[in-house]
């Protein structure tokens, strides 16, 4: 299988390197041939080509079986008057590859439960799989400016089509069947027309195609509350691009260890894109202390969703749990205790696998 | 001063009744003459007039000095195919009265700190004042449907004008000056054109008119995270309608006692509208066990913001703290311990004031 690596900016290269080693180890153990190619995205791509997503990167991604991304962005490219920004590369690759479904598992590693900002009795048992729609909604709606002075206005449209809602709801419902068989759809149908279309469409898909999956609907403001006081009540959650951006980031704080959370972005065919959900952490870039586990867990998702290699994915996830249980911690999850380097954490997972 | 009461649905009448008693007591003690008039809004207004906001209510509100609202909505009016819904009354009164600024203080009563879902060391010291823009943004943008079948699409526009941003930022910055002198503006300027206009406008207002207020900008997804892991770092927060809806509801869970949180909706002139942030709680309506304190604290905000009666507001807030310190709890904040009725809680605040 051919895998494109997009190390990106900040700590991206360091953490991607460790995930690559883990994938190579899996290849050896399970007898797979993985080929790796690195390409440019984000700030480093702007520096070298002027474009946060050069055409060569897009082409390589199209031809690959899967893509593993580190992180993009940093203060160097934050000038608001700049022509382009690293994040533009991210938005463009989602759209170019049709990656309409962003999967974000929010799962607590029991070994890290005391890192949660929530009381133990509230967070315990939390295991949510978010499906965020990623190529539609207000992110890609038409935008404009008009008028001047006090009356200058700016506008951007939130748009959803029935087809867009159907495909993401189907994916989420299928995933629910392989889990606890419960799906929650989140919208703002009491205010927004696209949310009303979303709600109608989701209800129809669920009734016609997934009558056996327990289904309910929650307003986005209520969901922002429930995530804090009863996160363990949810199984699979599906929502639009903007609401998903906010809710998945909110949910990512619940386990208290951002450095442990992976995500996957999938299309209907073609390669999936896998990445940690944390950013490029420019403050610690190059110091060799970043936590590679989220990227390693993203590699596990890559095996599961793009290479149909579930046993291999489970092997990685188990190995990560084991190194945590053995007490290994990078600085971000060490809570002031002793910590190991990025590379030592990579070593530990590799050795555990062997 | 003339005060319009809009008891609304569910527990609305019970809690409004107690807040009215507290206002009457304040009137006696401080020598003010308050007149009260009750009017219809929400589900009960639909039942009696077919309209969730009858014209008589709008007229009475326009002529009043301030408005105290209970809550609207309930399962009885939840039929998605209904012609109108209780919430429509709420959206309409905001727009009709030009209530563009929604103020939501998120403050911890120390007596209730153990009710928070967050660990004590994280929540301690939290005291945020949110300013949510309430009459613009995607809530009131043009919406439409077109196409059919899989291609049917629904659209709604997020729109902000420079003038709309200026006035809410000014109010928020003024409030910051009376507090810890720090303002955070929340947007999604890396994706949305209205957010870019928001960010530019806010930066200009702050630089030109409030150079002495410490000012920063946070993306909405990041803010959803910060509220959970470092809520005590924020002072005043200003944001748009949709983001404010989500973030203020998220923040409302932090103290762990929704039944304690009031809000105010203000225009540039005319009456302000005051209400608890919790809903109509149809499950406990009529049982006499609802917590009236959020509505009583909303009455305190009414005194402060619409009647310029700050000492009176402080008297109420102090009395509420005192009854909590004395151990009085309604069921929602009793954590399984002994609890008192809605009326007994109202009595306690009234007696404490006297
Ligand atoms: C960088 C930004 C454009 C992006 C988004 O909002 O989608 C990020 O927040 C994410 O969630 O991947
Ligand atoms: C009922 C609903 C329309 C309303 C809103 O979204 O503004 C509510 O959630 C609120 O925050 O007051």
CA–CA dist A116, B99 (Å, integer): 38
Q: What are the percentages of helix, strand and coil residues in chain A, rounded to 5?
A: 50, 20, 30
Torsions phi, psi for A24 (to 5 deg): -60, -40
Query: How many A/B residue pairs have CB atoms within 8 Å?
Result: 175
Residues of chain A with pLDDT under 50: none
Is residue B260 located within the same domain as residue B237?
no
- For B59, half-sphere exposure in the C-beta direction (CA atoms, 13 angstrom radius) is 3
Residue B139 falls in the annotated catalytic set = yes
- For residue A163, being part of any structural domain is answered with yes
Is residue B125 located within the same domain as residue B243?
yes
Above 80 in pLDDT, residue B80? no
CA–CA dist B212, B215 (Å, integer): 9
Is B207's C-beta closer than 6 angstroms to any atom of ligand 1? Answer: no
Q: What is the reported pLDDT for A110?
A: 87
Residue A245 falls in the annotated catalytic set = yes
Residue where a domain terminates, one of A254, A286, A302: A254
CA–CA dist A228, B228 (Å, integer): 8
Q: Spell out which residues line ligand 2, taking CB within 6 angstroms.
A: A 190-191, 221; B 87, 90-91, 245
Q: For chain B, how many structural domains are there in total?
A: 2
A76 labeled part of a ligand binding site: yes
What is the C-alpha radius of gyration for chain A, rounded to an integer number of angstroms? 20
Q: Residue A311's CB: how many other CB atoms inside 10 A? A: 10
Is residue B38 located within the same domain as residue B96?
yes
Please provide the DSSP assignment of A60-84 as one string: HHHHSSEEEEEE---GGG--TT-S-
CA–CA dist B52, B69 (Å, integer): 14
CA–CA dist A9, A7 (Å, integer): 7
The pLDDT tens digits of the residues spanning B275-299 come to 999 999 999 999 999 999 999 999 9
A290 labeled part of a ligand binding site: yes
CA–CA dist A66, B210 (Å, integer): 50
- For residue A295, being part of any structural domain is answered with yes
Residue A139 falls in the annotated catalytic set = yes
Q: Look at ligand 2, atom 10, and give the residue with the nearest C-alpha.
A: B245
B81 labeled part of a ligand binding site: yes
Is residue A236 located within the same domain as residue A143?
yes
Edge-to-edge order in the sheet of strand B143-146? A143-146, A153-161, B153-161, B143-146
CATH number of the domain that residue B7 is part of: 3.40.718.10
Query: Relative to the CA of B221, which ligand 1 atom is closest?
Result: 9
Residue A133, Cβ density class (10 Å: 0-12 exposed, 13-18 middle, ≥19 buried): buried
In chain B, the percentage of residues whose pLDDT exceeds 90 is 93
Specify the pairing of strand B153-161 against strand B143-146: antiparallel
3 state SS of A201: helix
B-chain residues within 8 Å CB-CB of A229? Answer: 117, 253, 256
CA–CA dist A323, A199 (Å, integer): 43
- Tell me the C-alpha to C-alpha distance, in Å, between residue A22 and each of A3, A330, A353, B19, B222: 13, 17, 8, 63, 30
Q: What is the reported pLDDT for B257?
A: 87
Residue where a domain terminates, one of B217, B237, B254: B254
Is residue A205 located within the same domain as residue A330?
no
Q: What is the reported pLDDT for A78?
A: 83
Buried/exposed code over A61-78 (b: 16+ C-beta within 10 A; e: otherwise): beebbbbbbbbbbbeebe
Q: Which of A155, A192, A194 sits opposite B194 (nearest CB)?
A: A155
What's the gap in Å between B32 CA and the centre of ligand 2? 33
User: Residue B103: beta bridge partners?
Assistant: B131, B264
Over residues B194-219, the mean pLDDT reads 97
Mean pLDDT for chain B?
96
The pLDDT tens digits of the residues spanning B52-61 come to 999 999 999 9
Is residue B10 located within the same domain as residue B43?
yes
| Ligand 1 pocket test target in A43, A70, A91, A103 with most atoms within 8 Å of CB | A91
Over residues B106-124, the mean pLDDT reads 92
Specify the pairing of strand A262-266 against strand A236-239: unpaired
Q: Look at ligand 2, atom 4, and give the residue with the nearest C-alpha.
A: B87
Is residue B77 located within the same domain as residue B56?
yes
Distance from CA of B184 to the nearest CA of A (A): 17
Is residue A121 located within the same domain as residue A250?
yes
Above 80 in pLDDT, residue B67? yes
Is B190's C-beta closer than 6 angstroms to any atom of ligand 1? Answer: yes
CA–CA dist A305, A319 (Å, integer): 19
CA–CA dist A20, A24 (Å, integer): 6
| Ligand 1 pocket test target in A74, A89, A90 with most atoms within 8 Å of CB | A90
Q: What is the reported pLDDT for A176?
A: 98
Q: What is the reported pLDDT for B82?
A: 83
Is residue B151 located within the same domain as residue B68?
no
Is residue B98 located within the same domain as residue B112?
yes
What sign does the dihedral A268-A274-A276-A279 (CA atoms) show?
negative
Residue A127, Cβ density class (10 Å: 0-12 exposed, 13-18 middle, ≥19 buried): middle
Over residues B159-178, the mean pLDDT reads 98
Q: Residue B284's CB: how many other CB atoms inside 10 A? A: 17
Q: What is the reported pLDDT for B79?
A: 80
Residue where a domain terminates, one of A221, A254, A287: A254
- Biggest CA-to-CA distance, chain B: 66
Length of chain B measured in residues: 354
Over residues B228-256, the mean pLDDT reads 96
Over residues B171-182, the mean pLDDT reads 97
Which one is catalytic: B9, B51, B160, B188? Answer: B188
Contact B160 A145 (CB under 8 A): no
A280 labeled part of a ligand binding site: yes
Above 90 in pLDDT, residue B78? no
- SS3 for chain B, per residue? CEEEEEEECCCHHHHHHHHHHHHHHHHHHHCCCCEEEECCCCHHHHHHHCCCCCHHHHHHHHHCCEEEEEECCCHHHCCCCCCCCHHHHHHHHHHHCCCCEEEEEEECCHHHHHHCCECHHHHCCCEEEEEEECCCHHHHCCEEEECCHHHCEEEEEEEEEHHHHHHHHHHHHHHHHCCCCEEEEEECCCCCHHHHHHHHHHHHHHHHHCCCCEEEEEEHHHHHHHHHHCHHHCCEEEECHHHHHHHHHHHHCCCCCHHHCEEEEECCCCCEEEEECCCCCHHHCCCCCCCCHHHHHHHHHHHHHHCCCHHHHHHHHHHHHHHHHCCCCCHHHCCCCCCCCHHHHHHHHHHHHC
Q: Which of B157, B166, B250 sits opposite A250 (nearest CB)?
A: B250
Residue B141, Cβ density class (10 Å: 0-12 exposed, 13-18 middle, ≥19 buried): buried
- For residue A260, being part of any structural domain is answered with no
- For residue A264, being part of any structural domain is answered with no
C-beta of residue A323 within 8 angstroms of C-beta of residue A345: yes
Above 80 in pLDDT, residue B156? yes
Is residue A30 located within the same domain as residue A138?
no
Containing structural domain, residue A197: 117-254
Is residue B74 located within the same domain as residue B167?
no
Q: What is the reported pLDDT for A329?
A: 96
Closest CA to B93 of B48, B53, B133, B131: B53
């Amino acid at each position: 299988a051919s895998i494109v690596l997009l190390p990106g900016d900040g700590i991206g290269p360091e953490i991607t390197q460790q995930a690559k080693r883990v994938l190579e180890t899996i290849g050896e153990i399970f007898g797979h041939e993985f080929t790796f190619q690195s390409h440019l995205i984000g700030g480093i791509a702007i520096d070298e080509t002027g474009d946060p997503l050069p055409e060569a990167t897009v082409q390589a991604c199209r031809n690959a079986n899967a893509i593993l991304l580190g992180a993009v962005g940093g203060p160097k490219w934050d000038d608001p008057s700049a022509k382009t920004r690293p994040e533009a590369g991210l938005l463009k690759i989602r759209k170019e590859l049709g990656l309409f479904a962003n999967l974000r598992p929010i799962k607590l590693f029991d070994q890290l439960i005391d890192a949660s900002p929530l009381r133990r009795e509230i967070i315990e048992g939390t295991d949510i799989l978010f499906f965020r729609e990623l190529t539609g909604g207000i992110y890609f709606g038409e935008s404009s400016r008009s008028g001047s002075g006090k009356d200058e206005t700016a506008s951007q449209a939130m748009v959803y089509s029935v087809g867009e809602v159907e495909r993401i709801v189907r994916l989420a419902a299928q995933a629910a069947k392989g889990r606890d068989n419960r799906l929650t759809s989140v919208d703002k149908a009491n205010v927004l027309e696209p949310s009303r279309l979303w709600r109608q469409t989701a209800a129809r898909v669920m009734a016609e195609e997934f009558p056996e999956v327990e289904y309910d609907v929650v307003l986005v403001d209520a969901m922002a509350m429930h995530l804090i006081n009863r996160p363990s009540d949810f199984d699979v959650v599906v929502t639009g691009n903007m609401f998903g951006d906010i809710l998945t980031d909110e949910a990512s704080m619940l386990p208290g260890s951002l450095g442990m959370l992976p995500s996957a972005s999938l299309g209907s065919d073609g390669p999936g894109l896998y990445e940690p959900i944390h950013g490029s952490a420019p403050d610690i870039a190059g110091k060799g202390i970043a936590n590679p586990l989220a990227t390693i867990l993203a590699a596990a998702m890559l095996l599961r969703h793009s290479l149909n290699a579930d046993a291999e994915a489970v092997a990685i996830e188990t190995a990560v749990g084991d190194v945590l249980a053995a007490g290994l911690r990078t600085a971000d999850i060490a809570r002031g205790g002793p910590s190991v380097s990025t590379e030592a954490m990579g070593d530990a997972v590799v050795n555990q696998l062997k």
